[in-house]
Chain A
């Protein structure tokens, strides 16, 4: 009987709500949420924040779509926002009415996925390219050949991040097509190229930074900011902008339609549009934010870093990532399954 009483007591304890004034559950990419930013937010607003991480837009979407996830905030890339909207998964929270919205760079207000910003606010923008350990390979790194046709030195040491859109887009650029093309010959050529390249890859993984820093892996399809953080720990690594073309993207913060802590979520959206806080995000993630005045809080080294500044020579081949038609999305998904299974 004592055991039963004890059990009941424990159950009672475990179902008690957390003690803070409020809670906020954020679902974001891994290694993408600055701990100091969260700490500052918790202190400022007396809210207890829980951050849970995912490894790709597709994984996050699948989890949200399944229901019963318990998250308040999600950080989808621009190309995937329309899908969330179509499924009715985001709350029309009108962040454009928030006090700090005036700080958003006008260039990032009327974006194709959320014109006028009724659902989302900018998190950061960046590019997807390749990262190579130049101590191991000293040739040209501004090319998709790093992962699609790896040089001898890198064979078996290349990682590919599980970012379906970025990886397939770059393969399409390499075979001379446009992202989201419905031309099946181009798509087939891109898939063939990827499948042929796969045997030279070490992993298809959201790999931990230490795997590169410790040189377990020597190259990767990678995002610019992540590449910067690795370069800072291991100067051998450099980031390349493939001349065949590379995606330029923005990730966005949105409140989920079934969020339980909408007020706290709005506080967070407003909080990250403050220049000083946006600078904290850039400093941690290594990506540019879209908040005017944040430069004042960023170090000169960060602002001038080769990963955050697209070189003039590469600007012509940067392509803003877009949403494919549903048919092409379905083809992308099947190509990706075919590649990763």
Chain B
């Protein structure tokens, strides 16, 4: 070790700036949560602690409908995206490059490269035509659109895991004349499971987070939590918005904590 007592890790000023950064990140969210417990009717006046806005939200049918839509939408879209992304990852990894691999890879990342607002208006144009032609106005459009832009997110961790996976076990299984499907089910899948779960969670959060595409595509009565919140923000800026926002914040914390525990147990 250096006798001049130099530690490059100690960059002067980094720690205070980092702490400032965390304070900046957390203060607004803390105030938001704090406001949600305000007994006062409007956000201007503080009238003591109360859970009334949470109670109001839980009795608000529009909010409950939006929560239900969001949950159904995020679950189905994330499931579809994860299954499809797993198949795609099995296709593009662990082999010599094959014809068309580059185009598949580009295609899989395409939704990441197009701005959300552009994708939203593009989908608006095409879905309006399909709705008019078929008369079907169900949740299907949102589910498929969400699945499409969630695929790249589910794909990333699964692909990374597959690339880092040791092939010896599978080769051994194949040597023992196990069928390809049997090998996949008994050897590959269990090894891949954590990555698939991570991909699913990523896709779920991405779907839950989406405002723009849902806002443009929704049919009447298909508000998701974020689009409901966006509409509510225009109508009334009451403490109920803070309660709903805080609930969404809680969901994020739970998901992050959940994935954290999952990955930590593994290592």
Contact = CB atoms under 8 A, between A and B. Distances in A.
A282 interface: no
A7 B220 contact: no
Contacts of A18: 221
A93 to B, nearest CB: 19
Given A7-B80, A14-B139, A15-B138, A210 B72 contact: no
Contacts of A211: 237
A66 interface: yes
A122 to B, nearest CB: 23
A227 B131 CA distance: 39
B139 A214 contact: no
Given A10-B72, A11-B76, A213-B42, A70 B137 contact: yes
Nearest to B133: A68
Contacts of B231: 53
Contact of A67 (B43, B128, B221): B128
A207 B231 CA distance: 11
Contacts of A50: 220-221
A13 interface: yes
Contacts of A27: 220
B235 A30 contact: yes
B234 interface: yes
Contacts of B137: 68, 70
Contact of B129 (A52, A53, A67): A67
A155 B131 CA distance: 46
Interface in B51-69: none
Interface residues of A, number: 33
Contacts of A84: none
Nearest to B200: A3
A288 to B, nearest CB: 23
A79 B231 CA distance: 26
A11 B131 contact: no
A188 to B, nearest CB: 32
Contact of A14 (B79, B128, B138): B138
A71 interface: yes
Contacts of B235: 30-31, 53, 208
Contacts of A52: 220-221
Nearest to B136: A15
B220 A10 contact: no
Contacts of B127: 68
A55 interface: yes
Contacts of A14: 72, 76, 138-140, 143
A176 B219 CA distance: 44
B106 interface: no
B143 A208 contact: no
A4 interface: yes
B168 interface: no
Interface string A70-97: 1100000000000000000000000000
Which of A55, A67, A211 is packed against the most chain B CB atoms within 10 Å? Answer: A67
A206 interface: yes
Interface in A25-62: 25, 27, 30-31, 50, 52-53, 55
Contacts of B130: 68
9 contacts: A10-B75, A55-B234, A66-B124, A67-B129, A68-B137, A70-B219, A207-B234, A210-B42, A214-B43
Across the A-B interface, the 8 shortest Cβ-Cβ residue pairs? A68-B131, A210-B237, A50-B221, A67-B132, A25-B220, A68-B128, A70-B219, A70-B137
Interface of A: 3-4, 6-7, 10-11, 13-15, 18, 23, 25, 27, 30-31, 50, 52-53, 55, 66-71, 206-211, 213-214
Given A3-B83, A11-B140, 5 more contacts: A14-B143, A25-B220, A69-B220, A71-B220, A214-B237
